[in-house]
Amino acid sequence: MGLAVSDFREVHMEKALLLDAGKCTGCEQCEVACSMINEGVSNPAKSRIKVFNFHDEGRFVPYTCTQCDEAWCMHACPVDAITIALDTGAKVVSDALCVGCKVCTIACPFGTVNYNPSTGKVIKCDLCGGDPACAKACPTGAITWVEAGATGYEKMKSWAKSTDAGARANA
């Protein structure tokens, strides 16, 4: 086996995709950008990120791989085709090694690794090598590229505001 997760941690300041469904309008610019970068054409059917439309509830929810540290897909792969990209921490599929067995698609609890029938390989988000196209394409800030250790800060901040009873009482 190559590098362990712990080796990676020592060398890198990690970033993560932050998905804020409340801001999503369902335009699919993320899917277009993802497929343009990865497939060379605009083709949401081959996008690594998907926007789900819960129509009757009026909700749009973008979702993609969250790059688990101890990734089920990586551990399940029988041919070690899924490895950690050193610069980003992304779990990356090697097309040269992937045999299309789909065990990773079963192992992943979140459904974010999928088989591509036109290549016989699996596809998943690789964080575009550290400059995710989906985040750049999102017009509403529903997908952003932030410090991995701070993905909850905005939400925390909005709750923090409502807990500040003392300041209000003193004012």
Nearer residue to another protein within complex by CB, 84 or 143: 143
Q: Environment class of residue 171 by beta-carbon count within 10 Å: exposed (0-12), middle (13-18) or buried (19+)?
A: exposed
**Is residue 25 within the footprint of another protein (CB under 8 A)?**
yes
- Min dist CB 144 to another protein, Å, is 15
Cβ–Cβ < 8 Å for 144, 23:
no
Q: Does residue number 27 form part of the binding site for another protein (CB under 8 A)?
A: yes
Does position 119 interact with another protein (CB under 8 A)? The reply is no
Establish if 33 lies at the interface with another protein (CB under 8 A).
yes
- Smallest gap from Cβ 107 to another protein, in A, equals 24
Q: In terms of CB distance, is 25 or 94 closer to another protein?
A: 25
Two tokens, residue 171: 């004012």
Closest CA to 101 of 120, 123, 125, 75: 120
Q: Does 61 bind another protein (CB under 8 A)?
A: no
Closest residue by Cα to residue 141 from 61, 42, 23: 23
The amino acid at 164 = D
Q: Are 41 and 33 in contact (CB under 8 A)?
A: no
Q: Which one among 140, 141, 152, 154 touches another protein, defined by CB under 8 A?
A: 140
Interface residues with another protein (CB under 8 A) are: 25-29, 32-33, 35-36, 39-46, 55-60, 118, 137, 139-140
